[in-house]
Structure 1
Amino acid sequence: MNTIEAIHHRRSIKQYDPNHVMPQEDVNTLLEAASLAPTSFNIQHWRFVHVKDMNIRQQLRSAAWDQTQVTDASTLLVVTANTQSWQETPERYWENVDQTTQETLVNMLQDFYRGREWLQRDEAIRSGAMAAQNIMLCAEALGYQTSPMIGFDIDKVGEIINLPESHVIVMMIAIGKGTTQAYPRGGQLPLSEIVIENTF
């Protein structure tokens, strides 16, 4: 399946085969795809909580208003992002370039983020969302279905996974073998409405 086919074919599925076990090799493939998503200054804000413990997944299901995909899908990822990545040893994001380039980029990124808490948070969420899309498209190509989720008590989920204060939750993604077909698409807005040329 090519990328365009995966984009057109991917739909959010809510019901999954609870007996299907995803091979670790496929989980690794999904997470490696996530790690190749773009981030500002190569900061790589994302942190993926792979929830394997079924007791924890049951707690998360309760925090997600009893949505069955939380426990029934083969794999559950909580996509989080570290808003403070910009100042946590930023040299490592550019360890493969020459020292002058590294120093220039590190100074630029620190100047860009310092004192802008709103930007730190917004950029972390943007990065996590792009990584999540990589995961979902990769899963589609591997023959899995996905359900991106934000329908849950975000504070409770943070408590359950022991979310660090410097992190934000982007979404949860349930991944597995769907047992139902997606509903027909509700309707897409025409390009004439969503594309603006040059200025509003």
Structure 2
Amino acid sequence: MYKLDKTTIHTTIREALHFRHATKMFDPNKKIAEDDFNLILESARLAPSSFGFEPWKFVVVQNKELREQLVPYAWGAKNQLPTASHFIIALARTAKDLRYDSDYVMHMMRDIHHLPEEALLARHSFFRNFQESDFKLLEDERRMFDWACKQTYIAVSNMMNTAAQMEIDSCPIEGFDKEKLEAILTERKVISPEHFGVAVMVAFGYRMKEPRPKTRLPLTEIVEWIE
């Protein structure tokens, strides 16, 4: 496999990180190529998750009518919903699916991870202890959902960084009425609220104008070394 030199790799990554910004409005006349968007989706599929249980699902909303229906309840996406080439609603699994003894968790261990029975039982016991004692996730269903949302954000970040390397713009969006969005998606049979809730949304496309330079705290204020 052909390998780039380290300087080129560093430059490419740095340029992509500076390219990415929260795009407020996209050029509605520019569409992302199918193979490019498939790679963006693949970067979500390959994202890391706690215990490898992938507590997410990604709904790509291309239907114009549904986008228009979402606008009144997604104030953070009022400009992105009408203009984005592709719009994703990132869902996180609920406690029903993520309890240590759920059908979904057992399916992941047996059918996806292909754990032999002895290893499966050991992992099951370890995961139960993690949920009961380490993170105390079983005390509250919302706590379990929020734990799943944290991991879903990792997958969304993967997608945005992958897009930036192809000079495709993106914007993560939390500005929405979660209850009303979920009601619309439930009514349209997009989600079952027993199994999924809306974690975050993210729009992809091509910018209408160049953004301002990034403003960030210096590394010295956000990194502490302990040696």
TM-score, normalised via structure 2 length: 0.77
Answering whether residue 49 of structure 2 is matched by residue 39 of structure 1, we say yes
Q: Could you say if the C-alpha distance between residues 40 and 116 of structure 1 is closer, same or farther in structure 2, counting changes exceeding 3 Å?
A: farther
1:71-82 → structure 2 map (5 Å cutoff): 71-82=82-93
Cα displacement (A) at 1:197: 4.5
State the distance in 2 between where 1:172 and 1:99 align: 38
Aligned-residue RMSD, C-alpha: 2.2
Residue among 171, 193, 197 paired with 2:221: 193
Instruction: Give the match for residue 120 of structure 2.
Output: 102
Instruction: Give the match for residue 148 of structure 1.
Output: 172
Cα displacement (A) at 1:103: 2.3
Answering whether residue 37 of structure 2 is matched by residue 13 of structure 1, we say no
Answering whether residue 211 of structure 2 is matched by residue 182 of structure 1, we say yes
- 1:81 and 1:125 in contact (8 A); partners too: yes
Give the paired residue count. Answer: 197
1:51-130 → structure 2 map (5 Å cutoff): 51-65=61-75, 67-84=78-95, 85-86=97-98, 87-94=102-109, 95-114=113-132, 115-117=138-140, 119-130=143-154
Residue among 158, 174, 181 paired with 1:157: 181
Task: Return the letter of the residue paired with 1:88.
Answer: D
State the distance in 2 between where 1:116 and 1:8 align: 41
State the distance in 2 between where 1:5 and 1:105 align: 41
Of 60-69 and 119-128, deviating more is: 60-69
Of 34-43 and 148-157, deviating more is: 148-157
State the distance in 2 between where 1:155 and 1:183 align: 34
Q: Which has a greater percent of helix?
A: 2
Answering whether residue 200 of structure 2 is matched by residue 171 of structure 1, we say yes
State the distance in 2 between where 1:42 and 1:96 align: 12
Q: Could you say if the C-alpha distance between residues 193 and 26 of structure 1 is closer, same or farther in structure 2, counting changes exceeding 3 Å?
A: same
Of 63-72 and 168-177, deviating more is: 63-72
State the distance in 2 between where 1:184 and 1:142 align: 19
TM-score, normalised via structure 1 length: 0.86
Return the index of the structure with the highest Cα Rg: 2
Q: Secondary structure at the match of 2:212?
A: coil
Cα displacement (A) at 1:119: 4.3
Answering whether residue 163 of structure 2 is matched by residue 135 of structure 1, we say no
Of 87-96 and 127-136, deviating more is: 87-96
- 1:40 and 1:123 in contact (8 A); partners too: no
List runs of 5+ in structure 2 lacking aligned partners.
1-8, 133-137
Instruction: Give the match for residue 5 of structure 2.
Output: none
% of aligned pairs identical? 29
Runs of 4+ in structure 1 off by over 6 angstroms are none
